[in-house]
């Protein structure tokens, strides 16, 4: 009797193997995240395929680098740094105006608050300087770390002087000038000469405010002698205060007070 051979059916269908991923092709982390984002809802009157595309795709290369031009990236970083400094200056000015409106007694009860503020700004400059380095801690790298805090110090000197001038607190302007002059002289000296430009700008700003106060206020004889002595000591740090010394000497000579022109 002949054997009857019947074909057997496969119980489980075996799918064809999936293609292997090449070893060199690696997806970046941001590319994986962008692929997992939910598609945007379709717009009315438009194709679903066009609406499902994101508004701005993350264009990365295989190694995760930007495909933009490097020059464009550098320009973008420079513009962002400039905007951050401008925003910082505006923030300091707004804070000073708020403090002036909330605490008007600062202008009449002495300069203790302004002294503490300048001391804090100077301390922030030194805190920003990295000291755990083999080289000098006054080089260009450390200057870039301290530059935002130096700008804060400069704007603080300028804005508080303008506030005192607007309120016609002439004696307070003179005291603030000499006080801020001392704190400015205690700022770090940098290895590069051009990096000390902010210090000289502070000196010129303070000297201009002091000269404006002297032109609108005549101190007494005893007060004039004290201011002249302190201004000559401040001259050792910068010659920007020389016009203030000449103006004070002219005021005292006009009032009939003998002044040593040394």
3-state secondary structure of 111: coil
User: For residue 138, how many other CB atoms are within 10 A of its CB?
Assistant: 16
The CATH number of whichever domain residue 107 belongs to comes to 1.20.58.1590
| Residue 168 domain-assigned (yes or no) | yes
Phi/psi for 14 (5° steps) reads: -95, 120
| Residue 2 domain-assigned (yes or no) | no
| Residue 256 domain-assigned (yes or no) | no
What is the full per-residue pLDDT of the chain (262 aa) written as tens digits?
Answer: 455 555 655 555 555 665 555 555 555 545 655 555 555 555 555 444 444 444 444 343 334 443 444 454 444 444 444 556 666 666 666 666 555 555 444 454 567 888 999 999 999 999 999 887 677 889 999 999 999 999 999 999 999 999 999 989 999 999 999 999 999 999 999 999 999 999 999 999 999 999 999 999 888 888 999 999 999 999 999 999 999 999 999 998 887 665 554 4
Quote the pLDDT of residue 91: 67
Quote the pLDDT of residue 97: 59
∠ CA 85-89-94, nearest 5°, is: 145
| Residue 165 domain-assigned (yes or no) | yes
Quote the pLDDT of residue 105: 46
| Of 29, 183, 51, 163, nearest in space to 107 by CA | 163
What is d(CA 14, CA 102) in angstroms, rounded to the nearest whole number? 79
Quote the pLDDT of residue 55: 41
Q: Quote the domain boundaries for residue 117.
A: 81-218
- Confirm whether pTM is higher than 0.85: no
Query: Encoding tokens for residue 196?
Result: 């000390």
| Residue 231 domain-assigned (yes or no) | no
* DSSP per-residue letters across 129-182: S----SS-TTSHHHHHHHHHHHHHHHHHHHHHHHHHHHTT-HHHHHHHHHHHHH
Quote the pLDDT of residue 44: 52
Domains: count for the chain: 1
Give the C-alpha distances (Å, rounded to integers) separating 261 from 208, 240, 246.
21, 17, 9
Quote the pLDDT of residue 3: 55
What is d(CA 218, CA 201) in angstroms, rounded to the nearest whole number? 26
| H helix intervals, the chain | 29-36, 48-51, 70-102, 112-127, 140-166, 170-185, 197-216, 221-234, 242-254
Quote the pLDDT of residue 52: 43
What is d(CA 73, CA 96) in angstroms, rounded to the nearest whole number? 35
What is d(CA 149, CA 152) in angstroms, rounded to the nearest whole number? 5
| Residue 259 domain-assigned (yes or no) | no
Quote the pLDDT of residue 36: 53
What is d(CA 250, CA 243) in angstroms, rounded to the nearest whole number? 11
| Residue 114 domain-assigned (yes or no) | yes
| Of 118, 122, 126, 123, nearest in space to 159 by CA | 118
Residues in the chain: 262
| Of 153, 151, 189, 166, nearest in space to 107 by CA | 166
| Residue 52 domain-assigned (yes or no) | no
Quote the pLDDT of residue 249: 93
């Amino acid at each position: 009797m002949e054997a009857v051979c019947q074909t057997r059916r496969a119980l489980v269908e075996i799918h064809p193997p999936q293609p292997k991923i090449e070893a060199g092709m690696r997806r970046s982390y941001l590319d994986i995240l962008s692929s997992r984002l939910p598609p945007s809802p379709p717009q009315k009157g438009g194709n679903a395929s066009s609406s499902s595309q994101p508004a701005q795709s993350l264009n990365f290369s295989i190694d995760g680098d930007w495909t933009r031009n490097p020059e464009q990236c550098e320009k973008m970083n420079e513009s962002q740094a400039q905007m951050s400094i401008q925003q910082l200056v505006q923030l300091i000015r707004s804070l000073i105006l708020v403090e002036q409106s909330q605490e008007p007694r600062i202008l009449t009860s002495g300069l203790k608050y302004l002294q503490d503020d300048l001391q804090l700004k100077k301390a922030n400059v030194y805190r920003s300087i990295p000291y755990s380095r083999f080289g000098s801690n006054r080089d260009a790298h450390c200057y870039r770390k301290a530059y935002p805090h130096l700008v804060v110090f400069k704007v603080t000197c300028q804005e508080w002087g303008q506030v005192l001038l607007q309120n016609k607190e002439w004696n307070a302007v003179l005291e603030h000038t000499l006080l801020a002059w001392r704190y400015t002289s205690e700022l770090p000296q940098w290895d590069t000469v051009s990096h000390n430009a902010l210090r000289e700008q502070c000196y010129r700003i303070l000297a201009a405010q002091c000269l404006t106060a002297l032109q609108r206020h005549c101190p007494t004889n005893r007060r004039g002698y004290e201011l002249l002595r302190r201004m000559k000591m401040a001259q050792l740090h910068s010659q920007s205060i020389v016009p203030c010394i000449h103006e004070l000497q002219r005021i005292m000579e006009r009032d009939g007070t003998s002044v040593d022109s040394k």
